Structures are given as structure tokens and as C-alpha cells.
Amino acid sequence: MADEKTQVTAPGAPIIEIKDLHKSFGSHEVLSGITLSVPAGSTLVILGGSGSGKTVLMKHMIGLLKPDSGRVIVDGEDIVPMSAEQLEKMRRKFGMVFQAAALFDSMTVYENVSFPLREHRKDLSEEQMHDLVREKLSIVGLKNVESKFPSDLSGGMRKRVGLARAIVLDPKIVLYDEPTTGLDPITTDYVDEMILDAKKQLGVTSVVISHDIASAFKVADNIAFLYQGVIVDQGHPSKLRHSEHPGVKLFLQTWFGKN
């Protein structure tokens, strides 16, 4: 908070670095030596099919899982050896946008967005919370919705409320877990624009877990393709489009073959 030292990561310098990460569950190796770097202020999409290890990789980034071996460096600090208390503090650098927004149905928009403030900013008055909630809702393009319930909102609006909640503590990094799964094309475009707007307006680093090829190629500065627990190709979307890896080619041809 006010008395905490704020570390500033220079634009373009890595804010997340993953080095030779391995993770198995029993005899099943899910991640087999992942090495990855995410520059500050960029949008990385981790693309791959179901069961490729995308969600397991994301859980390592935020310290919800510990690797069998390897390092996870966030904002200059290796989080693997951190205690539970240290991890809790580190996670405040992250905001999370879940599938289907994961809003509390029984809470108003205001109560949903202010929830992290009540957990972590007990120094704020109710008036200060209201101001922050209105500010974040305005950033994601929503006004006069504080008293509404999630059931009153469209799918795209619920996603934006989810993003407002994710950024209310001013995180450096926003994680998106399959943000366009199950959405119609119009709402998908709406969510893609939301991700692009968050980067432009807030300067946050974004990591998007996805199997949505069209969305990935629209929002990504870089794409890492995860296949059978290994990143087999990575780089600018234009590079991935011409990948020679058979797994990448097969996955992408389902989209580019018809477009």
C-alpha cells in the first residue's frame, strides 16, 4: 500500500520469466521444460488445444501450483520458493478475468467490483470505494450499472464488469482464462476489444489462455503455442501463421484453411 515500495518494470523488459518448468501429476507429465518470457506492457496469448497444459501453466504464473523443477520469476522475484504469505502479497500484482466472468449472482455490480477492495484495502472509506469502482467501470466502458445485478447484463457487459473487478487494485498483470469460450461472434469481438482497450488505457501486461485462433491473432503481440506440454513455436502472430511444426499447422488450418 502507501508504505510499500513499488517496483517499476521498464516497458519491454520481462515482467514474467519462466525457465525450464516441469510439472507432473503422478506419472503424467503435463509441462515438459517450458521456457517463456513476457515483456512488460505486452499481450501474450498461450494458444493450444484442450489438455495441452495451458491452465496448469497459468496456475504456475500466479503461484497456485509449484513446479517439480524450474523457475517462475514475476517482476524480478522468483516465486517458487515463496511462503504462502509472500505469495499472497505477490498475487496483488495480478488481476484475473475468469471464464463466464465468474461474478457473484447475488451481488450488485458495485458489490462485485468492490469485493477485492474490501478484502485488501480496508483503509478506504465507502465514498473512496465508490469513486474507484466508478472509475474502473468507466475505463471498461460502463456507466450507471452499479446497482444492476449480473442477470441484468449482456454477456459482453458481464465480461467488462469482470475486468473492472480484476483491475480495481491496479495490477501490473491481467490474466484471462479462455475469455471467449462459449460466446457468439459479436460478443467475442466485444471481448477482444476489451482486452485491447485495457492494454491501451492501462498499460497492463496481459496473458491470455485460449484455443480461439481468430481472437488470439487479433489481440496478441506474441503467441506461444503449447503442444503436448511443450512450447513448440512462439513469436509474432505472423510468424506462427507460417509455422512448420505439424501440430501448429494442423491446429491453425482449422481456421486459416477456411478464411
Domains in the chain (CATH in brackets) are 14-256 (3.40.50.300)
CA 35 → CA 42, 91, 216, distances in Å? 17, 21, 20
Which of the four pLDDT bands, split at 50, 70 and 90, describes residue 123?
confident
Tell me the pLDDT tens digit for each residue of 59-71: 999 999 999 999 9
Tell me the pLDDT tens digit for each residue of 138-180: 888 888 999 999 999 888 888 889 889 999 999 999 999 888 8
Going by C-beta distance under 8 Å and a sequence separation of 6 or more, which residues neighbour residue 220? 43, 44, 45, 208, 237
- Identify the CA nearest to 34 among candidates 18, 46, 45, 50: 18
* pLDDT confidence of residue 12: 66
Q: Where are the strands (E) in 75-124, listed by range?
A: 77-78, 94-97
The percent of the chain in helix, strand and coil, each rounded to the nearest 5, is 40, 25, 35
pLDDT of 244 above 80: yes
CA 178 → CA 29, 58, 83, 183, distances in Å? 22, 11, 29, 10
CA 64 → CA 61, 171, 229, distances in Å? 8, 17, 18
pTM, two decimals, is 0.86
- Identify the CA nearest to 199 among candidates 224, 218, 182, 225: 218
Q: Where are the strands (E) in the chain, listed by range?
A: 14-25, 28-39, 43-47, 69-74, 77-78, 94-97, 173-177, 205-210, 222-227, 230-235
What is the rounded distance in angstroms from the CA atom of residue 259 to the CA atom of residue 257?
6
